[in-house]
């Protein structure tokens, strides 16, 4: 045996060992009809079949019922023959029936005489990458939705309802503040009591006191309903404005329901603030909302005098 021939055989043997030992890629050969003739460790790891189970089976074994129904495996081979290779990313099926997102390359092979003699197929599991990309896209979509919703709520309510992305977007407490006032089912009256006391100190009219108490009570009740308890903080300014902040650790308001929960009278779901929020907007001058999976904060702000309607202010 000549030295070049020995080197060629050695090179072929080393290449086979390399292919067989690769674990991150499924690399195998198909005959001209698409039946599997070789298998490597990566193919076993990704697809779940050992060599004795899969050799001799058609490569369509790895395809979804939907792809098989439209004869997609045969279409891939036809394109590979016509163009030299075929590549796609799509769902594939493991031995246990689970699906994974695969990057697939099929290369048509020719022998020394130029005749088609089969296919080389390389498959990589890129499910993690796809999930990360979809998660990023979903985050971007949610961000766009939140910004749009914030602007719509602000516009529809003439600036009285403000949806805050972050806690830092909530208004700063007014100069004089109470301590934390914890409340629950049996202590809701404490919210009404301390709100009334603050308004009385500033000589609010009975009507304005009633409106503020109504709004604060509704906010506190919603916290109790959805989180069993909450914290109330009251602050006020020498000019006569009062803030009532209600925070809880409930599930928050689902973004897709926020517009209905805040603007639609009588609307309520398990995780929304429902009817109470609509009532807050009717009885309070300004409302801020920050809502997240770990909880919600509602800030109510009332002036001593009833503000003019927006259309009237514009005429002055």
Residue 88 CA to residue 75 CA, distance in Å, equals: 12
**Full set of structural domains in the chain with CATH:** 3-125 (3.30.450.20), 149-315 (3.30.565.10)
pLDDT digits (tens, 9 = 90+) for 222-240: 889 888 999 999 999 999 9
Of the CA atoms within 13 Å of residue 185, those in its CB half-sphere come to: 4
b/e map 85-105, b = 16+ CB within 10 Å: ebeeeeebbeeeeeebbbbbb
Q: What is the pTM of this model?
A: 0.56
Q: What are phi and psi of 79, to 5 degrees?
A: -65, -40
DSSP-derived secondary structure for the chain: --HHHHHHHHHHHHHHHHHHH--SSEEEEE-TTSBB----HHHHHHH---HHHHTTSBGGGGS-HHHHHTTHHHHHHHHHHHHSEEEEEEEEE-TTS-EEEEEEEEEEEE-TTS-EEEEEEEEEE-HHHHHHHHHHHHHHHHHHHHHHHHHHHHHHTTTSEEE-SSGGGSPPPPSEE---EEEEGGGTHHHHHHHHHHHHHTT--HHHHHHHHHHHHHHHHHHHHHHSEEEEEEEE-TTS-EEEEEEE-S----GGGHHHHHHSTT---TTS-HHHHHHHHHH-SEEEEEEETTEEEEEEEE-SSPPPPHHHHHH-
- Beta-carbon contacts of 239 under 8 Å, excluding residues fewer than 6 positions away, are 304
Residue 155 has pLDDT above 60, yes or no: yes
* Contact (CB, 8 A) for 298 and 219: yes
Give per-residue pLDDT as tens, 67-125. Answer: 999 999 999 999 999 999 999 999 999 999 999 999 999 999 999 899 999 999 999 99
pLDDT confidence of residue 279:
82
Mean pLDDT of 138-162: 79
What band does 262 get if pLDDT is binned at 50, 70 and 90?
A: low
Hunting for tokens 């409106």 — which residue is that?
211
CA atoms within 13 A on the CB side of 83: 11
Segment 157-190, tens digit of pLDDT: 777 888 888 899 999 999 999 889 999 989 999 9
């Amino acid at each position: 045996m000549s030295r070049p021939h020995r080197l060629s055989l050695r090179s072929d043997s080393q290449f086979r060992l390399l292919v067989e030992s690769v674990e991150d890629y499924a690399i195998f050969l198909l005959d001209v009809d698409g039946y599997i003739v070789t298998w490597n460790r990566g193919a076993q790891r990704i697809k779940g079949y050992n060599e004795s189970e899969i050799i001799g089976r058609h490569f369509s074994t790895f395809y979804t019922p939907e792809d098989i129904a439209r004869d997609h495996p045969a279409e891939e081979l036809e394109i590979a023959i016509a163009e030299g290779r075929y590549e796609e990313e799509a769902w594939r099926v493991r031995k246990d029936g689970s699906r994974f997102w695969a990057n697939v390359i099929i290369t048509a092979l020719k022998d020394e005489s130029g005749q088609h003699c089969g296919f080389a197929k390389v498959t990589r599991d890129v499910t993690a990458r796809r999930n990360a990309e979809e998660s990023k896209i979903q985050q971007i979509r949610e961000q766009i939705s939140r910004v749009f919703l914030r602007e719509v709520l602000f516009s529809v309510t003439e600036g009285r309802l403000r949806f805050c992305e972050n806690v830092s977007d909530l208004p700063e407490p007014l100069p004089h503040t109470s301590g934390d006032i914890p409340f629950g089912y049996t202590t809701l009256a404490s919210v009404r009591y301390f709100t009334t006391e603050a308004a009385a100190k500033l000589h609010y009219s009975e009507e304005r006191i009633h409106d503020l108490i109504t709004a604060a009570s509704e906010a506190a009740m919603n916290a109790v309903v959805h989180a069993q308890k909450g914290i109330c903080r009251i602050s006020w300014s020498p000019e006569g404005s009062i803030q009532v902040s209600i925070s809880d650790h409930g599930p928050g308001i689902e973004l897709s329901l926020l517009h209905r929960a805040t603007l639609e009278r009588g609307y309520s779901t398990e995780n929304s603030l429902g009817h109470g929020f609509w009532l807050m907007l009717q009885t309070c001058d300004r409302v801020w909302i920050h809502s997240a999976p770990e909880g919600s904060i509602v800030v109510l702000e009332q002036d001593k005098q009833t503000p003019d309607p927006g259309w009237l202010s514009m005429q002055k």
